[in-house]
Amino acid sequence: MRNLKITLAYDGFDFRGWQVQPSQSTVQGLLGAAVERVTGERLLPQGSGRTDAGVHALAQVASCAIESPIPVANLVVALNDVLPPAVRVLAIEEASPDFHARASAKAKTYRYRIWRDALCPPFLARYVYHHPYPLDEGAMAEAAGAVVGEHDFTSLAAADPERGREAQEVSNVRTIFSSAWQREGEEMLYTVRGNGFLHHMVRNLVGTFLLMGKGSLRPANMTGILQAKSRSAAGPTAPAHGLYLVSVEY
Amino acid sequence: MRNLKITLAYDGFDFRGWQVQPSQSTVQGLLGAAVERVTGERLLPQGSGRTDAGVHALAQVASCAIESPIPVANLVVALNDVLPPAVRVLAIEEASPDFHARASAKAKTYRYRIWRDALCPPFLARYVYHHPYPLDEGAMAEAAGAVVGEHDFTSLAAADPERGREAQEVSNVRTIFSSAWQREGEEMLYTVRGNGFLHHMVRNLVGTFLLMGKGSLRPANMTGILQAKSRSAAGPTAPAHGLYLVSVEY
């Protein structure tokens, strides 16, 4: 038995997210079907985490144990032949037997793209959130800095319907290593790196920063929002299609 | 009555082309519906030409006569509010009463994008033709140069099911002002500017150049292909999603 580390990129706009679902097009489902078609083995590659419907990935990581002796380079080519063009396997490596894409992850980086110009080119419509209205970008930068460090992010976490009651009691404390906005032409890019992220956490952070950009909240409110440990204290969930899973570190 | 010149861009991947069709999503149909919703006037904007299903436009031009006194700047905003994000009105200008997007056009420029790397990023899959196999790019450049000038392009024209018998007898002579390939990183870009293009002509040119790139035909065959005045003398039709209508000149 070999254990593989699969790195893949996807345009998530047309998928129902990462996690396999009956009669829905999901990245995990497509990857599992591709592995089965190539190796004859029925298995479900485990992702570093689920991405929501519409969320993109520049380098999602999945792990799976297979019997097939097919060399990794050939497996990359064979899987890409079978997968739709919106999902591409970038690399496959042999991993140690105890490697697990989710459990072994040490850090993840996400990015959120906001398009600021009055007109959003049609070729970007699937890949950025178009928000052409006035924003106080300084306030958003300040608020982004305020979440760096170890915090309980309950206020920024969606109630996850797929986690049972027991799991809901698991800690919502996460450590954010960096969190910052940058400007690139007509785009505002938010990049956040942390040791883990709760369900909808990055989209809820962006939705909260946007309220600060609009002046509905002030950056100084960020501490109180975290302390409230209540979803209703924070802002709305920003649209999925502006979000990218950039990388997973092990 | 005012006559308007409407410039628009679209990601054509999910549309059934430009021309309105019953119960199909077409750019002309969407634009007509948007004009009706904004002005209450039922009309069909006339395009500079039809683009096929899957073909993109950086600056398609349409003309239409309307009664509404709405200022052009407001009309741009109102139409973009109603249109899907994959279609954007870039500009609207008042035109002279005799302006017609198709009949008044003096020249058009098209571009075709081919992605050469072994892996095509998922975010480009809708926007380039992925062809990672060996190509003699010098031969393709030579063949592209051979179509510059005035020629009968019957060999490169699809039999157009929507042109009647009479129309089929209309001249297939067109003048190509420039025709060249260039390299940009992993992309090969073909740009062609001419006084008019027949149905499928650019995609058939690219399909023919690809045969020369593969060595199935030689650039010196280009003259014979044009002289044959037979569709079967030329190469296959390249995929629609690599093609862009870049601009229309008046």
At residue B75, what are phi and psi to the nearest 5 degrees?
A: -65, -40
The C-alpha atoms of residue B195 and residue B172 are separated, in whole angstroms, by: 12
Segment A33-52, tens digit of pLDDT: 999 999 999 999 999 999 99
Residue A59, H or E segment: strand A56-66
- Checking if the pLDDT of B161 tops 80, the result is no
Q: Do β-strands B107-115 and B129-130 pair in parallel, antiparallel, or remain unpaired?
A: parallel
CB of A97 within 8 Å of a chain B CB? The answer is no
Question: Which is catalytic among the residues B52, B117, B152, B160?
Answer: B52
> What pLDDT is stored for residue A23 in this prediction?
86
Question: Residue B169 pLDDT more than 70?
Answer: no
* A155-196: pLDDT as tens digits: 999 876 555 555 556 799 999 999 999 999 999 999 999 999
State the smallest CA–CA distance between residue B88 and chain A in angstroms.
6
Distance (Å, rounded) from C-alpha A210 to C-alpha A222? 12
Residue B226's φ and ψ, nearest 5 degrees, are -65, -40
Q: What average pLDDT does the segment B118-130 reach?
A: 97
Q: What is the pLDDT of residue A169?
A: 63
Q: Give the C-alpha distances (Å, rounded to integers) separating B121 from A84, A127, B40, B126, B237.
A: 12, 13, 43, 10, 23
Which tens digits make up the pLDDT trace of B174-231?
999 999 999 999 999 999 999 999 999 999 999 999 999 999 999 999 999 999 999 9
Selection from B37, B26, B45, B42 nearest residue B81 by Cα: B37
Instruction: Give the closest-approach CA distance of A175 to chain B in angstroms.
Output: 31
Q: Which residue of B has its CA nearest to A9?
A: B122
Strand ranges for A96-225 from DSSP E: 107-115, 129-130, 149-152, 173-184, 187-194
Catalytic residue of the set A11, A14, A52, A117: A52
* Confidence at residue A164, expressed as pLDDT on a 0 to 100 scale: 53
pLDDT of residue B166: 52
pLDDT value at B162 more than 60: no
Distance between A243 CA and the closest CA of chain B, angstroms: 13
Share of chain A above pLDDT 70, in %: 96
Contact status of B103 with chain A (Cβ, < 8 Å): no
CA distance A107 to A246: 11
B90 touches chain A (CB under 8 A): yes
Task: Select the more confidently predicted residue: B32 or A158.
Answer: B32
- Is A2-95 a domain of CATH 3.30.70.580? yes
Q: A111-124: per-residue pLDDT in tens? A: 999 999 999 999 99
Q: Is the confidence at residue B165, as pLDDT, over 60? A: no
- pLDDT score of B6 more than 60: yes
For tokens 């590659």, what's the residue?
Answer: A45
**Mapping DSSP to helix (H, G, I), strand (E, B) and coil, where does residue B28 land?**
helix
Take residue B2 and report the two structure tokens written for it. 């005012």
Model confidence at B159, pLDDT cuts 50, 70, 90, reads: confident
Q: Find the angle CA(B143)-CA(B147)-CA(B151) to the nearest 5 degrees.
A: 150
Distance CA A159, CA A237 (A): 12
What local confidence, expressed as pLDDT, does residue B170 receive? 79
Cβ-based neighbours of A118, under 8 Å, separated by 6 or more: A132
Name residues 11-30 of chain B within 8 A of A (Cβ): 11
What's the mean pLDDT in A133-140?
96
CA gap A193, B49 in Å, rounded: 48
Nearest to B122 among A85, A119, A120 (CB): A85
In the block, residue with structure tokens 């609207």: B92
**Domain range summary for chain B, segments of one domain joined by +:** 2-95, 107-249
**3.30.830.10, 3.30.70.660, 3.40.50.300, 3.50.50.60: CATH of B107-249:** 3.30.70.660
Which pTM value belongs to this model?
A: 0.92
Contacts of B60 in chain A (CB under 8 A): none
Question: Is residue A52 annotated as part of the catalytic site, yes or no?
Answer: yes
Helix-strand-coil percent breakdown of chain A, rounded to 5? 30, 30, 40
pLDDT tens, residue by residue, A12-34: 999 999 999 988 999 999 999 99
Do A2-95 and A107-249 share a fold?
Answer: yes
Cβ neighbours of B130 in A, within 8 Å:
85
- Put simply, the answer to whether A86 touches B11 (Cβ < 8 Å) is no
Tens of pLDDT, residues B8-23: 999 999 999 999 998 8
Mean pLDDT of B17-41: 94
Beta strands in A116-186 (DSSP E): 129-130, 149-152, 173-184
According to DSSP, the residues that pair with B10 across neighbouring strands are B57, B87
**ipTM for this prediction:** 0.90
The 10s digit of each residue's pLDDT in B77-122 is 999 999 999 999 999 999 999 999 999 999 999 999 999 999 999 9
What pLDDT shows up at residue A160? 61
Residue B160 has pLDDT above 90, yes or no: no
The mean predicted confidence, pLDDT, of chain A is 94
Sign of CA dihedral B193, B194, B199, B203: negative
Model pLDDT for residues A205-239, shown as the tens digit of each residue: 999 999 999 999 999 999 999 999 999 999 999 99
What sign for the dihedral angle of Cα B2, B3, B7, B10? positive
The answer to whether the beta carbons of residues B200 and B237 sit under 8 Å apart is yes
Residue closest to B145 by CA, chosen among B199, B191, B204: B191
